[in-house]
C-alpha cells in the first residue's frame, strides 16, 4: 500500500524516526537511573 504523495511518506518516516529517538532517550535515561 503506497502512502500517496512523497511528502506524506517523508512525514511518516520522520515521525517514525522521532518516535524512535524519544524511545532511545527514555531507554538511556532509564539505564542511567537504574
Per-residue pLDDT tens over the stretch 3-19: 578 888 877 888 899 99
* DSSP letter assigned to residue 4: S
pLDDT at 1 over 70: no
pLDDT at 23 over 80: yes
Q: Give 7 or 31, the one with higher predicted confidence.
A: 31
pTM above 0.75, yes or no: no
CB 19 within 8 A of CB 26: no
Using alpha carbons only, give the angle 4, 15, 20 rounded to the nearest 5 degrees.
135
Cell 518516535 belongs to which residue? 19
Residue 17 has what pLDDT?
A: 92
Residue 2 has what pLDDT?
A: 61
Q: What per-residue string of b and e applies to 7-24 under the rule 16 or more CB within 10 Å gives b?
A: eeeeeeeeeeeeeeeeee
Amino acid at each position: 500500500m503506497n502512502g500517496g504523495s512523497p511528502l506524506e511518506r517523508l512525514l511518516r518516516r520522520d515521525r517514525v524516526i522521532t518516535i524512535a529517538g524519544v524511545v532511545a532517550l527514555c531507554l538511556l535515561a532509564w539505564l542511567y537511573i537504574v
